[in-house]
Amino acid sequence: MGNLIEKVSQRKISRRTFLKASAAGTATLALSGCSTSLTTVGTATDVGEKEGKWVSATCWHNCGGRCVNKAYVIDGIIVRQKTDDTRPDTPDVPQQRGCLRGRSQKFQAQGADRLKYPMIRKNWETGGGKKELRGKDEWVRISWDEALDILASETKRIKETYGNASILAPAPSIEIQNLLTAYGGFVPSWGTVSFGSWYLTPALIGFSDNCIDVKALNDRFDMRKTELVVAFGMNPAWSSMGNPTYHFLQMKKAGVKFIFIDPIYHDSISVLDGEWIPIRPATDMALLLAMSYTLITEDDPVNNPLIDWDFLHRCTVGFDADHMPKDAETDENFKDYVLGKYDNTPKTPEWASEICGIDPNTIRYLARAIGMQNKVSILAGWASGRAQNSDNLPQMFMAIGAMTGHIGKSGHMTGVCCWNYAANSGPPLVNSGGNGEPYLVSPLKEALCEAEMWTAILDKKYKPNKIINSIFGYPAGWKDTVKGLDLKTLVPEEDINIQMIWHTAEASLQTRDGMNKGIEAHRTVEFVVSQSHFLTTNSKYADLVLPVTTLWERAGDIAWGTNRDALIVSCQVIEPMYEAKDDQWIAEEVAKRLDIDPSEIVNSDRKQQFFNKLAGSTVVTEDGQSFEPLVEIKEADISEWGVQGQPQKGRIPLKKLLEDGVYQVERYKGDNYGFIAYEDFRKDPEKYLANTVSGKMEIYCQTLADIVNNFGYTKIAPYPKYIPPVQGYEATFKDWENRVEGDYPYQLITPHYLRRSHSIFDNIPQLKESCPNPVFLAAKDAEEKGVKDGDTVLVSSEFGQILRNACVTERLVPGVVALPHGAWCDIDEKTGIDHGGADNILSGNIPTGQGISGWNTCNVNFEKWTGTPLIPDHEKPQRIIF
Ligand code: SF4
């Protein structure tokens, strides 16, 4: 292995060369930061004389891109990368091209800062030792045997002392989930994560089946038939690089006009030449209510038809008093709320303007623009739902889509457009098979909401939930889940005593709300273990860290998640780096030490699992009516792989698929794979019932109110109603009525950023140099505070403080501060100030409604930093321990 390390370090790949090669991805994306200018598209580095080979490698990260990646390997070292070149690139059948992040994966897999050996904290001892030193202690290298013995004995000791419900494994890897379940159970975490209120609400009101609903919008070819897109909180050019923006560009070329409603003039608006309507964060509900008011008061079915009464009456319930669902428990309805019947406050554009900051005439203009006679797509990103008290917001989008009839017709759409199905919706045309492995579910009733997880550890109390274990992630089955449950009675708080935290494939401490509280919680429990590639935030605050292999060091896999057209395959690229081990091996070794038969938790090795997935993959038939096996497998393949399996016929030979790294369905205008969301429902709602109590889309939904209110955090109404967030525009004032400014008068938003996929890639020096991760400040606000571009700024909230260098811009709504999501924290232990700029240092642990993590509802203040200026992130030393 030492030989490999030497070979990697001798390779002449300069950071500058990388920047040139990666610049194509960033040259036009002008808002990445203010201090780096990238304009050159260069060639890949010189790889010398030796012959190597291209290996299909994929990008395994959760940005939503789902891209092809290839690695050129010489002598077991990756020396260059490329992306999809398996076919000519056309607008209808585009290559699945990766971004600068995916193309820098060789720096990730072969990084000098990879965790090389198992390590224990110097001052650790059984029971924790000096627990307050977590995050600042020295590390001591230990052997794998020592590490596994410590892990097994601490798991056993803690279980025997405090019970299984003292072991927290937030969103664990399957192997560790199975292990801990076989050992009697553990406490998982649950949360609305990226989806916000789009997690649970849509499935309950008949707006989609699941939070990841690939069938919520029309096919990408049909999207080109729309005339106007009105987009809320969507910036695919940053959050889902890869093909989504390219698909939007095809819409633009077809003549589609774009209006973006967003606090920031982002690069998607710029690329698509969109009209920008600036809005204050988390005030979409007020805007949409006022648009509804305009539609209701200006509609004239003969002279000015704005509302599609036919769709509204046939396909929905709850709009007005004459169309209420049978199970409604109040006399209230949406229309009368909008007209102000219940609170003497008509939701006029003037009313909304005070909240959302948009001029009343612009609100009226927007309402008229989406009227029923126009071909409109009303699209939203999940960002709109990452706000406290936003549980009714998806219902509001559904209501306005139903009012204007932009549901179930060609060229008309309403719904979520983001992540890996952004601008490419419809049932998948190619699917991976399963890996054949068991999936065991913890038998314990305890589970912690991520928006109160750290508080629960510190206070030893948590809010139990009647439905959470079975409904989250699978909300389509909500009817069975709630059958027979008393949703009117709240469950009281219960005791919980977490004494062990086991981190695996997640980044909970970094990416869940309230990081300062999270660190305190980590310094409280008796044992923390973390499996990771680098000294991530999870690992930094652990007692024991275990180095694990990346996907490129394993037998191969199929990229997870959905890319409607393409199945993307990764082969093993390099041998495991240093002493890194597979998570599966770790689970099996710990199982043996806990007297658990490993076969209870794992069926087969990674190669067999990869083979099972390939053998079970299916592709749509040409008529679009059914599926057939994708991969042709011969007897010789099975013996070469040394796996169990049967020969089969398929669309593409196994070797060719592995060589290409991708199978992509040929698409063309008029093919058999077109899709119009809700088309059947619109045509015959009596036959194709929505998955609701009434069988219709529920603008009044008693189930939604009952389920969300039973969580016991905050109360919502059964219909779309404006409820100010705990932290939001109103809360920036200490006296809202008289508009007296409070201590935290700015609203923080935390957009996804080019440098990272969530928190992944934040340690790559080349990406740090190309994307400096500033805090974006509105020019007017910066001027008032005497802050200039490049100045170091202290951003404070009620929950913590961070330092960042300022990027002063006219592209941001005054009153809003934008801090990119996912930077690794780097806390100065003397002051408690984070020099890394982690967004969750500023957020609190404040659950509302369905347990939403309200990342876009956090109030802050900022000032020019008078201490030592922050050095650029790429000049800081890497976290190299050994
Ligand atoms: S980070 Fe996302 S967009 Fe970039 S290569 Fe990976 S999957 Fe594609």
**Model confidence pLDDT, tens digit, residues 287-305:** 999 999 999 999 999 999 9
What is the position in ligand 1's atom list of the atom closest to the CA of 242? Answer: 3
More confident residue, 469 or 520: 520
**Ligand 1 proximity of 63 Cβ (cutoff 6 Å):** yes
67 CA to middle of ligand 1, Å? 6
**Ligand 1 proximity of 244 Cβ (cutoff 6 Å):** no
pLDDT tier, 843 (very low <50, low <70, confident <90, very high otherwise): very high
pLDDT tier, 471 (very low <50, low <70, confident <90, very high otherwise): low
pLDDT of 173 strictly over 50: yes
Q: Among 22, 56, 70, 99, say which to mutate for ligand 1: greatest number of ligand atoms within 8 Å of CB.
A: 99
Half-sphere exposure of 819 (CA within 13 A, CB side): 34
C-alpha to C-alpha distance for 652 and 67, rounded to whole angstroms: 19
70 CA to middle of ligand 1, Å? 13
Instruction: Identify whether the C-beta of residue 504 lies closer than 8 Å to the C-beta of residue 169.
Output: yes
More confident residue, 708 or 476: 708
Give the pLDDT confidence of 447-462 residue by residue, as tens digits.
999 999 999 999 999 9
- pLDDT confidence of residue 485: 87
C-alpha to C-alpha distance for 377 and 415, rounded to whole angstroms: 8
Q: Could you say which DSSP state residue 460 is in?
A: S
Average pLDDT over residues 90-110: 93
pLDDT of 10 strictly over 50: no
320 CA to middle of ligand 1, Å? 45
Average pLDDT over residues 64-81: 92
266 CB-near residues (< 8 Å, 6+ apart)? 31, 235, 237, 238, 260, 751, 811
pLDDT of 654 strictly over 50: yes
**Ligand 1 proximity of 559 Cβ (cutoff 6 Å):** no
811 CA to middle of ligand 1, Å? 26
Q: Which of 25-29, 69-73, 79-83, 651-655 has the lowest mean pLDDT?
A: 25-29
- Least Cα distance to 83 among 219, 210, 246, 212 occurs for 246
pLDDT of 733 strictly over 70: yes
560 CA to middle of ligand 1, Å? 12
- Least Cα distance to 66 among 568, 522, 416 occurs for 568
C-alpha to C-alpha distance for 821 and 515, rounded to whole angstroms: 13
Look up residue 597 and give its two tokens: 């038969």
More confident residue, 12 or 231: 231
Average pLDDT over residues 668-695: 96
Look up residue 468 and give its two tokens: 């959470």
774 CA to middle of ligand 1, Å? 22
- Least Cα distance to 97 among 110, 108, 107, 86 occurs for 86
pLDDT tier, 7 (very low <50, low <70, confident <90, very high otherwise): very low
- pLDDT confidence of residue 420: 79
25 CA to middle of ligand 1, Å? 11
Average pLDDT over residues 32-56: 56
Give the pLDDT confidence of 558-608 residue by residue, as tens digits.
987 668 999 999 999 999 999 999 999 999 999 999 999 999 999 999 999
Determine what percent of the chain is predicted with pLDDT higher than 90: 85
- pLDDT confidence of residue 240: 82
394 CB-near residues (< 8 Å, 6+ apart)? 197, 198, 201, 202, 205, 207, 380, 385
**Ligand 1 proximity of 598 Cβ (cutoff 6 Å):** no
Average pLDDT over residues 612-617: 98
**Ligand 1 proximity of 760 Cβ (cutoff 6 Å):** no
- By CB atoms closer than 10 A (0-12, 13-18, 19+), residue 302 is exposed
What is the position in ligand 1's atom list of the atom closest to the CA of 63? Answer: 2
Average pLDDT over residues 609-616: 98
Residue nearest to atom 2 of ligand 1 (CA): 65
224 CA to middle of ligand 1, Å? 24
C-alpha to C-alpha distance for 385 and 281, rounded to whole angstroms: 11
What is the position in ligand 1's atom list of the atom closest to the CA of 66? Answer: 7
Give the pLDDT confidence of 359-385 residue by residue, as tens digits.
999 999 999 999 999 999 999 999 999
**Ligand 1 proximity of 65 Cβ (cutoff 6 Å):** yes
pLDDT of 18 strictly over 60: no
Q: Among 22, 56, 59, say which to mutate for ligand 1: greatest number of ligand atoms within 8 Å of CB.
A: 59
Neighbours of 879 (CB within 10 A): 17
63 CA to middle of ligand 1, Å? 6
- Least Cα distance to 745 among 731, 756, 735, 757 occurs for 731
- pLDDT confidence of residue 483: 84
Instruction: Map tokens 């989930």 to a residue.
Output: 177
Q: Among 63, 418, 550, say which to mutate for ligand 1: greatest number of ligand atoms within 8 Å of CB.
A: 63
**Ligand 1 proximity of 59 Cβ (cutoff 6 Å):** yes
Give the pLDDT confidence of 110-122 residue by residue, as tens digits.
999 999 999 999 9
Give the pLDDT confidence of 405-427 residue by residue, as tens digits.
999 999 999 999 988 788 999 99
136 CA to middle of ligand 1, Å? 33
- pLDDT confidence of residue 44: 39
Look up residue 398 and give its two tokens: 């559904």
Residue type, 589: E
- pLDDT confidence of residue 47: 53
Instruction: Map tokens 């809700």 to a residue.
Output: 678
Instruction: Identify whether the C-beta of residue 234 lies closer than 8 Å to the C-beta of residue 200.
Output: no
Q: Is the pTM of this model over 0.75?
A: yes
Average pLDDT of the chain is 92
- pLDDT confidence of residue 845: 84
More confident residue, 39 or 861: 861
What is the position in ligand 1's atom list of the atom closest to the CA of 69? Answer: 5
pLDDT of 493 strictly over 60: yes
Residue nearest to atom 6 of ligand 1 (CA): 102
102 CA to middle of ligand 1, Å? 5
64 CA to middle of ligand 1, Å? 7
In order of 46, 422, 621, the CA distances from 671 in angstroms are 43, 20, 11
Q: Among 56, 66, 67, 108, say which to mutate for ligand 1: greatest number of ligand atoms within 8 Å of CB.
A: 67
Give the pLDDT confidence of 495-550 residue by residue, as tens digits.
999 999 999 989 999 999 999 999 999 999 999 999 999 999 999 999 999 999 99
- pLDDT confidence of residue 32: 57
- pLDDT confidence of residue 775: 98
Determine what percent of the chain is predicted with pLDDT higher than 70: 93
